[in-house]
Amino acid sequence: MSSSYPNFLPQVTEGLTELTSIDLLKNLQQIQLMSSVSPQPVHTTYTRQGKGNIPLLLLHGFDSSVLEFRRLIPLLSQNHEVWSVDLLGFGFTSRSLDIAVSPHNIKTHLYDFCQHLIGKPVILVGASMGGAAALDFTLTYPRIVEKLVLIDSAGLANPPILGKFMFSPLDTFATSFLANPRIRQNISRTAYYDKSLASLDAGVCAALHLECENWSRSLISFTKSGGYGAFLPKLSRIGQETLIIWGENDRILGVKDATRFKNAISRSKLVWIPRCGHVPHLEKPVDTARAIEEFI
């Protein structure tokens, strides 16, 4: 691994060609965060770039990491203080077998991160499962969230019943299936409207955290917890101004939920990103950044 990368990262050998990927990896930091989810510190990985009045905090999707925002952070940090953190049980944040990876523990760990490092209200930006995590956090800690941005967000569908069947050996079989490079490449291609963006660089960024200790066990723990449920009955409680960004060609979640979010959250605005799939922040980062800038 290049000595310019932090030593807590798995070995990066080849495949990274985009400067945004390389630069973000070099700028990752890790703190031993004391959190009520554990008597021991949680080695929490994050990045902080730029300066501004109200910080933005970006939350990644399922089985992902802060690298998901490698193309968006450089654009937003030109005018704003931008943070992104690997959620408990995901990315390069340490995984302990003694800590259940559940929505409750994820938001508790995130709260402790905000209190210890950021120290003031944030504009919370969540993509896919990160959107569900952002909704859960906003509903629980509304005073910490100044505004809310949802990017092709999960959080309206009931969680799958798969968790009920995640017992050995089916649990390890399921994660082995998800770790298969061909399966991950197929998922990546489905997430993009422009399939050429499912590149080798993108594949390295999406899979690097799989080399972290206890990746499989943490994913199983999260699935067994039931994951994030349907927030629709609670969305009327969200009083923050909310921006909903959605790719017009999302083949992962579809497009119907965009309007459902818009109708359920009173102070919300919906922005469609044309010729774009499930990941506007990766596929159309300039359009996504512009929408967030105008919203702010």
pLDDT tens column, 264-286? 999 999 999 999 999 999 999 99
Beta strands 82-85; 122-127: pairing state: unpaired
pLDDT > 50? residue 163: no
> What is the pLDDT at residue 11?
84
Number of Cβ within 10 Å of residue 98's Cβ equals 8
Confidence of residue 170 (pLDDT cuts 50, 70, 90): very low
pLDDT > 60? residue 161: no
Residue 136 backbone class (left: φ over 0; alpha: ψ -120 to 50; beta: rest): alpha
Number of Cβ within 10 Å of residue 111's Cβ equals 17
Q: How far is CA 88 from CA 42, 65, 110, in A?
A: 8, 11, 8
pTM (predicted TM-score) = 0.95
CB 135 within 8 A of CB 238: yes
> What is the pLDDT at residue 131?
98
d(CA 284, CA 286): 6
Report the CATH architecture of 19-295: 3-Layer(aba) Sandwich (3.40)
Name which of 3-12, 158-167, 170-179 the model is least confident about: 158-167
Beta strands 38-49; 29-35: pairing state: antiparallel
Q: What is the pLDDT averaged over residues 207-226?
A: 92
Confidence of residue 15 (pLDDT cuts 50, 70, 90): confident
Domain ranges, ordered by start, for the chain: 19-295
| Mean per-residue pLDDT over the chain, rounded | 93
d(CA 288, CA 252): 18
> What is the pLDDT at residue 3?
55
The overall longest dimension of the chain from CA atoms, in Å, is 50
Name which of 92-96, 121-125, 159-163, 167-171 the model is least confident about: 167-171
Q: What is the pLDDT averaged over residues 163-177?
A: 57
Angle between helix axes 181-191 and 170-179 (nearest 10 degrees) is 60
Q: Is the omega angle on the peptide bond into residue 280 within 30 degrees of 0, that is, cis?
A: no
Residue 213: both structure tokens together? 């200790």
Residue 186: both structure tokens together? 């197929």
pLDDT > 70? residue 242: yes
Quickly tell me which residue has 């512009």 as its tokens. Answer: 290
Confidence of residue 4 (pLDDT cuts 50, 70, 90): confident
